[in-house]
Structure 1
């Protein structure tokens, strides 16, 4: 295995971060965690995340999980992906072309639709939203079940009012209640070309955007939080702010920045950026 690969995984049942915001860097990726306020009634954290990255081969693979009723569903998903990590990392090491993300999607579907995984899900308590995001070369790809959110912050997109990539979907989960047990599983996928220059990828569970007072329900407020401080300072400020606002629900953020040197697609009557 390449020495440039970094791995990190966490589930809230291991450490809950209730009343204690936390930042954890993995190379250029920042994981922000806050378990919620105990004085608002919080007593457990059922979020989870997984981060793999390879700086040499220039990709990141992340999973963000927001479970309820227990953290078991988040735990079994991280375990399944670690079991299949060599196959996934092999796919990520291949040259980027029109088949790249299709192969990754097929592998993820094979994991979630396997009888072994479905059988495990039937015997746990609770279910989880699951957002999987891959950045490779100048593209970001996502696979989303449920209501975790993926934002892409770039000045050209912000000028047009675009911040959010996926649509939150309610009543979708993996676990005891499982979209992959249906006759037709419900999930969404997408691919977005990153713009030339600095791109910020920001994944979050819903504690951040449903915080009392809704300081971050509008994505422009998250975008603006990065304008006048470092990335770490910005994320730390968000976690402290939701703590002050009395948030109960847990929040997990996975963030990283990537600078793209290649030109991005433009309309035929637009000039390329300098």
Structure 2
């Protein structure tokens, strides 16, 4: 299995456009413009790729007040890698539900919550997994995912999840409430090529905020550039041009679905 992890505290990429091509997936990071006040990177990310191509799992984390919560979440996920892999290797009708339960067990555990109470700051995080023709997401906070496909983009459907503010994992912890506030869901992909994307809010909140409009992202990623590494670099270049102070982290990959589909227009 291909595993890639990154912690912005250790590799901040200040004033640096970093694009790493993993073959089937692309990771990209820009730590912000130091002339505009950028001086740290509190994002983190993880990518897990099944060697047979049956599934992928991606994670983006966006911390604040310190990188401690990002590091804690990242370390917790890496320690549970074999468990998460086993979940995704289950039959399709079980895999995502098992993954949801595994993450709930990890983050609701007394040991994890005790560690959260000792750190400074908190983080948002977004998990996205693809298995067969389905995409699953699991989100706390305001990291955001997208699925780009022409047949649904023309109807305005591009965002995978809704950004949620004031949801965190860390010293302020959603898992300490009577019920946790988080979101999860499953989407069926359309026939043909779909591009999947995760990002932290530094991509959306730079300068005049061109990428707050999903259509701008869709056009940049899917139409204006011939490869995903070039598209990822173009996104970060725009953040740099806009004088982005916050770090921007992006994960991109594609899946070509050959199933017959249910994409008739019933309107």
TM-score by structure 2 length?
A: 0.96
Q: Give the paired residue count.
A: 265
1:173 match: 168
The correspondence for 2:67, drawn from 68, 71, 93, is 71
1:244 aligns with 2:236: no
Q: How far, CA to CA, are the matches of 1:268 and 1:262 in structure 2?
A: 17
1:225 match: 220
Computed over aligned residues only, the root mean square deviation of the Cα atoms, in angstroms, reads 1.3
1:103 match: 98
Superposed, 1:117-196 pairs within 5 Å as 117-196=112-191
Q: How far, CA to CA, are the matches of 1:234 and 1:60 in structure 2?
A: 20
Q: How far, CA to CA, are the matches of 1:150 and 1:251 in structure 2?
A: 13
1:92 aligns with 2:88: yes
Q: How far, CA to CA, are the matches of 2:57 and 2:173 in structure 1?
A: 23
- 5+ residue gaps, structure 2, are none
1:115 match: 110
Q: How far, CA to CA, are the matches of 1:42 and 1:88 in structure 2?
A: 34
Q: CA deviation at 1:100?
A: 2.1
231-240 vs 37-46, greater mean Cα deviation: 231-240
Q: CA deviation at 1:269?
A: 6.2
2:9 match: 13
Q: CA-to-partner distance for each residue in 1:62-101, whole Å, 9 max, x for gaps?
A: 111000011111111111112111111111112211x221
Q: CA-to-partner distance for each residue in 1:157-204, whole Å, 9 max, x for gaps?
A: 111111101000000000111000111100000100011100000111
The correspondence for 1:215, drawn from 202, 210, 214, is 210
TM-score by structure 1 length?
A: 0.94
Asked whether the equivalents of residues 216 and 222 of structure 1 are also in contact (C-alpha less than 8 Å), the reply is yes
Partner SS for 2:101: helix
Q: How far, CA to CA, are the matches of 1:57 and 1:218 in structure 2?
A: 31
Q: CA-to-partner distance for each residue in 1:213-242, whole Å, 9 max, x for gaps?
A: 112110100111130312211211111111
The change in CA–CA distance for 1:41 and 1:263 in structure 2 (over 3 A counts) is: same
2:44 match: 48
- 5+ residue gaps, structure 1, are none
Asked whether the equivalents of residues 57 and 93 of structure 1 are also in contact (C-alpha less than 8 Å), the reply is no
The correspondence for 1:234, drawn from 231, 235, 251, is 231
